Structure 1
Amino acid sequence: MSGERVIGGYVLRRVLGRGGMGEVHLATTPTGGLAAVKVIHPELARDPAFRRRFAREVAAARRVARFCTAPVLDAGIDGDVAYLVTEYVKGPDLAKAVREQGPLSGSDLEALAVGIATALGAIHGAGVVHRDLKPSNVLLSPLGPRVIDFGIAQLVEADSQASQAILGTPAFMAPEQVRGESLGPAADVYAWGGVIAFAGTGRLPFGGGSPAEVLYRIVNEGPRLDGLDAGMRGVVERAMARDPRLRPTARQLLESLTGGRQLSPATATQVVERTWTGPRGLTAEQPAAFGPRGSTEEQPADLGPRGSTVEQPADFGSRGSTEEQPAGFGTRGGERVGAVEGRGLVAAVEDAPVQAAAGVSLAGGGRGGRGGVARRRWPWVAGAVAVLAAVVAGVVVVPRVWSPSWPYAAGFGDSWATGASDGGDARVAGSDYLLTAKPGWRLWKSAPVPEPSGGVVVSAKARLEQGSGEYGVWCHGSASSGDRYDFGVSGSGQVTIVKRRTGQKGTPLYGPAALSGAAPARGGRIVAECAGPSDSAGVTLRMWVNEKLVAEVSDVNDPLGPGAAGVQVAPDAGEALRVRFESFAIDRTKD
């Protein structure tokens, strides 16, 4: 085969690894970023039963929050090849790191334990059981550990001995998995213990030998855990109880590791990133993490959206801080419809220490684990405790020491605005984002991360489900003022680029113009580029529909700079417009 191989719009560059179900390739995304594309063996992809399981399990995997995982970004079947697209994480896997550099210790081992437990919490929260958690499925990025391969963990039927061999690695199987019993989240917790034991000692928890010997020890003997310090060993022992009913949940693992504190997944992820130094050889280059490390204001993601719900009339800009406005009206004052209330004040302070709110004591030890057994609180947890206490008090001051890495791709469950209002409705539907705008209104929603500095590429895969009108993306915007560049495509086959300013009617910069064959107009991938602004040439705006360049224009009249980006819909008739967004991504422009 000559030339580059393209699957689902992703250009395969090189093979990253091979496994029982297929190959993993480093690939270029339609927006120019990087992703990991797992290509399933054709003999599996041709099986109708496998295709049904593939659709079901991918839908579940896409619901997994991105905390300490490599999130599923896209999936599909191209001919007789099924493919799964995930974040590309730059860094070695845990097995390779331990093999080449020795066991992890200190804060790195502790951050690894918390990071994997956080990932399991996200996976289990979406109703998925990994089934094959092992060191090679933990990638060590410069920001911390990332768990991979949960998106295909249940694709092979689990009722045969052959499938058990595929779905589990003997050294890290739970006893019930060895016995061929049904598996639940407790099997992943058991594997977590084995992975941490391996990472901290450099040894397999049940030794070497033939697979049959290892499996016998798993069912009949306990793991070898000498070499782990007392605090970590106690947590691992409980996780590797032979009876799954005696094992903690992923959330209980986090509580044990953090002295009994109930950290949210977002806070736990931030603690890992602030603590993690990584094995030797990791560069400072950040992986394509596709996930928020907080919010636009450096706020933990679980505190909810921050003014990301924005609605306005189809032809006008926003009016100050207003987030919703009927068509034809001017400024409505400072009312924020749909804004989150009672969630606390968030302040981003450059290089500031983490501070607890007044009156919240951080003194005293924690008690965690089962039966109220006292557990050591490691020094690295202090930052997490301070952040948690401040969140409870409603005031958070967070140091700007972590920021989004690029590209970012939605999980629409990660702080995207949802709910009904005068202008329409926004909700998460499975792994998609469904916007329904009422006649005379424009809905525009912000991604939970700010744009990178300089130029930006924003993309979305969308499908018009009901009504007629415009839908698309926007960039170089402000969620509070409404200034932005809108890139729209209509069901009638027209494309537009419109500049919007606070309290003003939109200024068309391009179009309406016919798509000229870049169909289908009722669905596809929309890509927008805001390059700049620069002092001399302003900002260059380009738009692609289904990989075809359809519009290009420059704005030199007081151009907008980097801010926020998101998605937008606006009906053009007397009925509501409903659009389903299946994916969303933000990336830097490429030099």
Structure 2
Amino acid sequence: MSGERVIGGYALRRVLGRGGMGEVHLATTPTGGLAAVKVIHPELARDPAFRRRFEREVAAARRVARFCTAPVLDAGLDGDVAYLVTEYVKGPDLAQAVREQGPLSGSDLEALAVGIATALGAIHGAGVVHRDLKPSNVLLSPLGPRVIDFGIAQLVDADSLASQAILGTPAFMAPEQVRGEPLGPAADVYAWGGVIAFAGTGRLPFGGGAPAEVLYRIVNEGPRLDGLDEGLRDVVERAMAKEPRGRPTAQQLLASLMGGTHLTPATATQVVERTWTGPRGLAGPVDGAFLRGAGPVDGASVRSAGPVDGASVRSAHGISASVQGPPDVSGTALVTPAAHASGQIAPSASGDVWDAAVPSASGRNALSDGGSPQARGGVARRRWPWVAAIVVAVAAVVVGPVVVPRMWEGRPYTAGFGDSWATGASDGGDARVTGSDYVLTAKPGWRLWKSAPAREPDGGVVVSAKARREQGSGEYGVWCHGSASSGDRYEFGVSGSGQVTIVKRRTGQKGTPLYGPAAAKVSAGTNRIVAECADVGSGGGKVGLRMWVNERLVAEVSDASDPLGSGEAGVYAAPDAKEALRVRFESFATDRTKD
């Protein structure tokens, strides 16, 4: 794959979409999967204020749980370029699906409502306000809806940019957003109501026309909800109350949708996945299998997550200047309070056109009393027929295996541990091949580390191993940029107590911690550990170090203090008590960081 551009260790394969803030690319990850990488324009990334805001908002986005969302997996600054990596969600967006196949109905519409409410609960639980929930930010995967573009939303903060300007899509703005007031989670609940109304009727809840006219209707009129199922309409009406305090929270919204049943986000996600059938004839599974997090393939609709400073990077399904039929309402407007007062609406930073020729609508909604879902009636006392069966079924669900592409096929080196790996006893312990596995038993007070019988590729390496602790306590993992003769190496370790570390070691010196110990989701059984040692810049002046455990990025740091160069890689075990530590390595592989 020569000629590919590599940013932050991600090899960009092709452009999926462009916008005023940058481009979205299909990319190969360091571990061999695929992801959507949003690359921000260099002129923005060079701005120190933007860089600070970008880092702060990405940190917030990464706290969002994965329930019914496309989570942010990674982000960083690579020279003059800021980039954001999101999990792949295969499928069309809701705007495209409605445009091409008409409104959703029945269990799909209900699952959509539950799924988006679940996603909002996860987003708000991380202290994030989406601020731009709309049909084009809901992808319809084979397993259900996934909310995107919360990735760089502002934290809930009265002093945030959200309180100084109106950022969002006119058709789905809350009244307080139109008025330029501080935004909270209630603004997202309002947008949820508008999205569900659009999904179930094919109409914008406040009609089309000039954006200023739509904004006026949002503040002064009620949404047009005729055509929605009566029970669902009741929930949407309460979600679209004019005053934020009159709307349910995302959790109350979910309870109302489930007929008063309070489900955990994980169970609600399973309910959606077991109920969802999805749009027909659009983007479906690949070879009959959904590759969760593996990345898009040719022809798939892909969006990365996260409006940056109020402007979205568009995918191939972005808005056009002319809309036929139910509109793809993905335009983003930046409207200051002064501009709204004068009736002038500024175009978005991306230059997209918001144009939807849909008849206007009227009809006021009733304000909620702000009480519990049960106190307000409606579906709070009604259980949708599909809910009871699905909730019972979920208790016995065994989710089928997720098909993931092989990560190391055709790469420079994959271990068969019988192939020249060192075996036998030593002062530090014992190494032996057992079947197809490699077992290290390290003595107390020693670090037992072994080299793979192949040198690292030049320019940087990704090392992968699957291992499990069988006896004792301590840490184990992989190392790279090392030398069996000198003892130099970067160690990437996990421990039974759920800690991860990156340590630089040199012969005769105490190890230098570069990251951790820090808590991570470490399995009590087998863990997949992936480490990257990437030479950064020319002259070997810095090495970028990243670590994944069970496909999650858990650590990222760099070493610019006399960094280690390419050499050998391998595995190690180190007990932390008086008992020996035995670790079984089931696989080992190395790969170059660039093709």
TM-score range (shorter-chain normalised) is: 0.5 to 0.7
CA displacement 1:99-141 (0-9 Å, x = unmatched): 0111111111111111110000000000000000011111111
Distance 1:44 1:245 in 2: 37
Distance 2:112 2:471 in 1: 38
CA-CA distance at 1:287 after TM superposition: 4.5
Contact 1:89/1:287, CA 8 A, preserved across alignment:
no
* Secondary structure in 2 matching 1:140: strand
Q: Cα distance 1:379–1:76, how it changes in 2: closer, same or farther (>3 A)? A: same
* Secondary structure in 2 matching 1:77: strand
Residue type of the alignment partner of 1:157: L
What is aligned with 1:119? 119
Ranked by relative contact order (alpha carbons within 8 Å, sequence separation 6 or more), the top structure is: 2
Q: Cα distance 1:211–1:547, how it changes in 2: closer, same or farther (>3 A)? A: same
* Secondary structure in 1 matching 2:186: helix
Q: Cα distance 1:76–1:233, how it changes in 2: closer, same or farther (>3 A)? A: same
Residue type of the alignment partner of 1:378: W
**Gaps spanning 5+ residues in structure 2: where?**
295-371, 407-443, 448-462, 494-504, 517-527, 536-549, 555-570, 578-587
What is aligned with 1:135? 135
Contact 1:123/1:150, CA 8 A, preserved across alignment:
yes
Distance 1:481 1:521 in 2: 23
CA-CA distance at 1:403 after TM superposition: 4.0
What is aligned with 2:203? 203
Q: Cα distance 1:5–1:473, how it changes in 2: closer, same or farther (>3 A)? A: closer
CA-CA distance at 1:23 after TM superposition: 2.0
What is aligned with 2:292? 289
What is aligned with 1:158? 162
CA displacement 1:395-419 (0-9 Å, x = unmatched): xx523244445489xxxxxxxxxxx
1:380 and 2:366 are equivalent in the alignment: no
Distance 1:117 1:262 in 2: 13
Contact 1:231/1:375, CA 8 A, preserved across alignment:
no
Q: Cα distance 1:197–1:543, how it changes in 2: closer, same or farther (>3 A)? A: closer
Contact 1:493/1:521, CA 8 A, preserved across alignment:
no
Correspondent of 1:475 among 463, 466, 471: 466
1:546 and 2:533 are equivalent in the alignment: yes
Q: Cα distance 1:138–1:543, how it changes in 2: closer, same or farther (>3 A)? A: closer
Contact 2:139/2:145, CA 8 A, preserved across alignment:
yes
Residue type of the alignment partner of 2:106: G
CA-CA distance at 1:189 after TM superposition: 0.4
What is aligned with 1:309? none
Distance 1:22 1:546 in 2: 28
* Secondary structure in 2 matching 1:371: coil
Distance 1:251 1:542 in 2: 36
Contact 1:477/1:565, CA 8 A, preserved across alignment:
no
Computing the radius of gyration from Cα coordinates, the structure with the larger value is 2
Q: Under a length normalisation based on structure 1, what TM-score does the superposition of the two structures give? A: 0.57
1:160-199 aligned within 5 A? 160-161=164-165, 164=166, 167-199=167-199
CA-CA distance at 1:78 after TM superposition: 1.3
CA-CA distance at 1:4 after TM superposition: 1.7
CA displacement 1:187-228 (0-9 Å, x = unmatched): 000000111111111111111101001101001001001111
Distance 1:68 1:40 in 2: 25
**Gaps spanning 5+ residues in structure 1: where?**
292-366, 389-396, 409-438, 443-471, 499-512, 525-540, 549-563, 575-585
* Secondary structure in 1 matching 2:376: helix
What is aligned with 2:69? 69
* Secondary structure in 1 matching 2:6: strand
Residue type of the alignment partner of 2:212: A
CA-CA distance at 1:242 after TM superposition: 0.5
What is aligned with 1:243? 243
Distance 2:388 2:396 in 1: 14
1:277 and 2:277 are equivalent in the alignment: yes
What is aligned with 1:535? none
Distance 1:117 1:189 in 2: 8
Distance 1:478 1:228 in 2: 55
Contact 1:194/1:204, CA 8 A, preserved across alignment:
yes
CA-CA distance at 1:290 after TM superposition: 3.7
Distance 1:95 1:30 in 2: 33
1:81-100 aligned within 5 A? 81-100=81-100
Correspondent of 2:376 among 347, 371, 381: 371
Contact 1:489/1:521, CA 8 A, preserved across alignment:
no
Contact 1:253/1:369, CA 8 A, preserved across alignment:
no
Residue type of the alignment partner of 2:385: P
Distance 1:380 1:51 in 2: 47
1:245-264 aligned within 5 A? 245-264=245-264
Contact 2:71/2:86, CA 8 A, preserved across alignment:
yes
Residue type of the alignment partner of 2:93: D
CA-CA distance at 1:147 after TM superposition: 0.6
* Secondary structure in 2 matching 1:233: helix
CA-CA distance at 1:284 after TM superposition: 3.1
Q: Under a length normalisation based on structure 2, what TM-score does the superposition of the two structures give? A: 0.57
CA-CA distance at 1:268 after TM superposition: 0.3
CA displacement 1:56-96 (0-9 Å, x = unmatched): 11111111110000111110011221111000111111111
What is aligned with 1:28? 28
Distance 1:573 1:407 in 2: 36
CA-CA distance at 1:372 after TM superposition: 4.5
1:432-581 aligned within 5 A? 474-475=465-466, 477=468, 486-488=477-479, 493-494=488-489, 522=514, 545-546=532-533
CA-CA distance at 1:486 after TM superposition: 4.7
What is aligned with 2:334? none
Q: Cα distance 1:248–1:84, how it changes in 2: closer, same or farther (>3 A)? A: same
CA-CA distance at 1:153 after TM superposition: 2.2
Residue type of the alignment partner of 2:219: V
What is aligned with 2:223? 223
Distance 2:470 2:121 in 1: 31
* Secondary structure in 1 matching 2:86: strand
1:346-425 aligned within 5 A? 368-373=373-378, 374-386=380-392, 398-404=396-402, 406=404
What is aligned with 1:318? none
* Secondary structure in 2 matching 1:399: coil
* Secondary structure in 1 matching 2:396: strand
Q: Cα distance 1:20–1:192, how it changes in 2: closer, same or farther (>3 A)? A: farther
Please provide the CA RMSD for this pair: 4.2
Contact 1:46/1:80, CA 8 A, preserved across alignment:
yes
Residue type of the alignment partner of 1:183: L
Distance 2:189 2:80 in 1: 35
Residue type of the alignment partner of 1:119: A
CA-CA distance at 1:16 after TM superposition: 2.0
CA-CA distance at 1:18 after TM superposition: 3.0
Distance 2:464 2:215 in 1: 53
Identity %: 72
Contact 2:65/2:123, CA 8 A, preserved across alignment:
yes
Q: Cα distance 1:542–1:230, how it changes in 2: closer, same or farther (>3 A)? A: closer
CA-CA distance at 1:544 after TM superposition: 6.4
Contact 2:31/2:530, CA 8 A, preserved across alignment:
no
Q: Cα distance 1:198–1:565, how it changes in 2: closer, same or farther (>3 A)? A: closer
Residue type of the alignment partner of 1:371: R
Distance 2:490 2:464 in 1: 12
Residue type of the alignment partner of 2:396: V
